[in-house]
Amino acid sequence: MKVAFDNELYLKLQKERIEQRIKMFDNKLYLEFGGKIFDDYHASRVLPGFHPDAKIQLLKEFKEDLEIIFCINANDIEKNKIRADYGIGYDRELVRLIDNLEKLEISINSVVVTMYTGQTQVQKLKDVLDERKIKMYIHTPIEGYPNDVEKIVSENGYGKNPYVETTKKLVVITAPGANSGKLATCLSQLYHEYKRGVKAGYAKFETFPVWDLPLMHPVNVAYEASTADLEDINIIDPYHLESYNVKAVNYNRDISTFSILKNILTKITGEEIYKSPTDMGVNTISKCITDNKVTEEAGIMEIIRRYYNSLCDYKKGIGNDKTIARMEVLMNELNLTKEDRKIAIKVNEVVNQSKREVMAIQLNNGEIITGKQSELLTAPSATFLNVIKQLAKIPDDVYLLSPTVLESIFKIKQKTLYKKKYQLNLSEVIIALSICSTTNPIIETTLKNIDKMRGMEAHCSYIITDSELNVIKSLGINLTCEPRLIG
């Protein structure tokens, strides 16, 4: 993988930018923190060299001056809203984030439950938080929000919300998912701070879109692709253009609500702090890109991957045609087609020749390794074995797992599942390799190459099972599939 982003410079500049913003106010800043705190793999894919844990590293830079408030929408708790990337509810994701941050000794102030109207499941979350000695605060809906500024910024609005006691100069407001009430919580805290004579500030930390990259830069278009199901659209910030005569990229929801937000902030603080939505941000991404051409290529690959994913989601019944239509618009805007994914072309060629299901993985040197479905192995299993042999420079005629071992496992699975036909999936093959590695040093050496697969591109001729997909994700392989379901 070609590196095109200076992660160390990013941490340095980003810290400096946030410190500058803190000093603009009464040495107290509420920072609305969007996106994933951990494992930001989207950013690492479109900005090669960006570390997936960069946000955590940034927070650790402020460790002594930082505390975190989490927000979660009571409706999401009640409906058990699921994070698609992790397959767990927002409440469980919240607890997972808290546990992980506490292990890093990052201070957790509390959890604010927003939009509370008596949802019964909230008590269960409170019980879990009580066990961890984490305070929970309740925010109820404000009548007339967000348009009735007079009522919102009053004792009958934000004044009804409990004040969350904070002691650090940087308070990060974050959440386990979207629409959790981060902004409203920030503004509520500002209201209470000003009542107490503290001129605290508000700022917004979002990785994407990158405000000072062109609107149609593939990195920014890739962000649109990642939120195609939410119908987010990147546009030029008209407020920034009018105030500074500078083109800046923002997204439609921030721009559509800015006039209201500006009025609320002015009502709370008594002055105009920000002239545009872009002014609120502290993003320094563009200054850390070291190879624009490579980032453009990475952005293009992410857009195409997202397009394939939307087709597969629709085929599985978990997507919709609106998302596909939006993805097609984005593809057309950059003159992209499915054929631009070379590894997909290779897979389809091998399928046509062999008449079998096929998966392929492209090595970092550009070589494409394929694997075919057989009576014993799924296509991902076969491909995985071929790739790790190639990485370990083991000849093709050497078996990592002997046919006898595979046959034995196959027969056991066949009997226990009462199936006449069964192929060993990827997780089963990795387990078998791990067991055999205890007595076979060649396999032990070979398995050490697994980490080299992170960031590699892959394509399969059909929609693979969730169990195999989870393994491929854990290996860090960027997989796409043809939108085909097989029995």
Reported as a single tens digit per residue, the pLDDT across 249-276 is 999 989 999 999 999 999 999 999 999 9
More confident position, 146 or 190: 190
Here the tokens at position 14 are 């980003």
Per DSSP bridges, beta strands 29-33 and 201-205 are parallel
Lowest mean pLDDT among 166-175, 271-280, 348-357, 405-414: 405-414
- Tell me the residue range of the domain where 363 lies: 341-481
For residue 210, the 8-state DSSP code is -
Contact 213, 220 (CB under 8 A): yes
pLDDT bin (cut points 50, 70, 90) of residue 164 is very high
Here the tokens at position 359 are 């998966």
263 lies in the same domain as 374 = no
Largest CA distance in the chain: 78
Residue 301 within any structural domain of the chain: no
399 lies in the same domain as 283 = no
Question: What pLDDT, on a 0 to 100 scale, did the predictor assign at position 376?
Answer: 84
Contacts of 174 (CB under 8 A, 6+ apart): 32, 33, 34, 37, 68, 69, 70, 71, 97, 182
Contacts of 55 (CB under 8 A, 6+ apart): 33, 35, 36, 37, 38, 40, 207
- The stretch 52-79 carries a mean pLDDT of 94
90 lies in the same domain as 198 = yes
Lowest mean pLDDT among 20-29, 373-382, 393-402: 393-402
DSSP sequence for 368-412: EEEEE--SSB-HHHHHHHHHHHHHTT--TTS-SS-HHHHHHHHHH
163 lies in the same domain as 277 = yes
More confident position, 217 or 401: 217
Whose tokens are 């860090």? That residue is 476
265 lies in the same domain as 348 = no
Query: Is pLDDT above 80 for 402?
Result: no
Query: Is pLDDT above 90 for 329?
Result: yes
How far apart CA 285 and CA 262 sit, in angstroms, is 25
From 130, 114, 219, select the one nearest 175 (Cα to Cα).
114
Q: Name the strand (E) or helix (H) holding 117.
A: none
| Number of domains forming the structure of the chain | 2
For residue 412, the one-letter residue type is I
How far apart CA 305 and CA 18 sit, in angstroms, is 33
Question: What pLDDT, on a 0 to 100 scale, did the predictor assign at position 420?
Answer: 59
Question: CA 462 from chain center: how many Å?
Answer: 24
Question: What are the CB-based long-range contacts (under 8 Å, 24+) for 219-224?
Answer: 219/46, 219/47, 219/295, 219/296, 219/298, 219/299, 220/249, 220/299, 221/299, 221/303, 221/330, 221/333, 221/334, 222/42, 222/46, 222/299, 222/300, 222/302, 222/303, 222/306, 223/251, 224/330
Q: Is the peptide bond before 146 cis (omega within 30 degrees of 0)?
A: yes
Residue 71 within any structural domain of the chain: yes
Residue 356 within any structural domain of the chain: yes
For residue 357, the 8-state DSSP code is -
Residue 85 within any structural domain of the chain: yes
pLDDT bin (cut points 50, 70, 90) of residue 230 is confident
Query: Is pLDDT above 60 for 220?
Result: yes
Per DSSP bridges, beta strands 457-460 and 358-362 are antiparallel
How far apart CA 129 and CA 120 sit, in angstroms, is 15
How far apart CA 327 and CA 324 sit, in angstroms, is 5
DSSP sequence for 14-70: HHHHHHHHHHHTTS-EEEEE-S-SS--HHHHHHSTT--TTHHHHHHHHTGGGEEEEE
Residue 432: CATH number of its domain = 3.40.140.40
Question: What pLDDT, on a 0 to 100 scale, did the predictor assign at position 417?
Answer: 61
C-alpha R_g of the chain: 25
Residue 190: CATH number of its domain = 3.10.630.10
Contact 212, 42 (CB under 8 A): no
- The stretch 66-84 carries a mean pLDDT of 86
267 lies in the same domain as 412 = no
For residue 211, the one-letter residue type is W
Share of the chain above pLDDT 90, in %: 78
167 lies in the same domain as 65 = yes
Length of the chain as a residue count: 487
Question: What pLDDT, on a 0 to 100 scale, did the predictor assign at position 204?
Answer: 96
Contacts of 347 (CB under 8 A, 6+ apart): 358, 359, 360, 370, 459, 460, 461, 482
How far apart CA 427 and CA 277 sit, in angstroms, is 46
Query: Is pLDDT above 60 for 302?
Result: yes
pLDDT bin (cut points 50, 70, 90) of residue 419 is low
270 lies in the same domain as 142 = yes
271 lies in the same domain as 395 = no
Lowest mean pLDDT among 20-24, 25-29, 392-396: 392-396
Query: Is pLDDT above 70 for 83?
Result: no
Question: What pLDDT, on a 0 to 100 scale, did the predictor assign at position 317?
Answer: 93
Question: What pLDDT, on a 0 to 100 scale, did the predictor assign at position 232?
Answer: 86
How far apart CA 334 and CA 331 sit, in angstroms, is 6
Contact 449, 406 (CB under 8 A): no
Share of the chain above pLDDT 70, in %: 95
348 lies in the same domain as 284 = no
Q: What is the mean pLDDT of the chain?
A: 92
267 lies in the same domain as 405 = no
Question: What pLDDT, on a 0 to 100 scale, did the predictor assign at position 87?
Answer: 64
Residue 273 within any structural domain of the chain: yes
Question: What pLDDT, on a 0 to 100 scale, did the predictor assign at position 271?
Answer: 93
Residue 367 within any structural domain of the chain: yes
Residue 336 within any structural domain of the chain: no
280 lies in the same domain as 418 = no
Residue 429 within any structural domain of the chain: yes
Here the tokens at position 444 are 């032990």
More confident position, 400 or 164: 164
From 154, 87, 73, select the one nearest 117 (Cα to Cα).
73
Lowest mean pLDDT among 289-298, 411-420, 443-452: 411-420
Strand-pairing partners, residue 368, are: 362
- The stretch 307-333 carries a mean pLDDT of 95
pLDDT bin (cut points 50, 70, 90) of residue 398 is confident
What tens digit of pLDDT does each residue of 236-246 get?
Answer: 999 999 999 99
Query: Is pLDDT above 70 for 18?
Result: yes
pLDDT bin (cut points 50, 70, 90) of residue 438 is confident
pLDDT bin (cut points 50, 70, 90) of residue 218 is very high
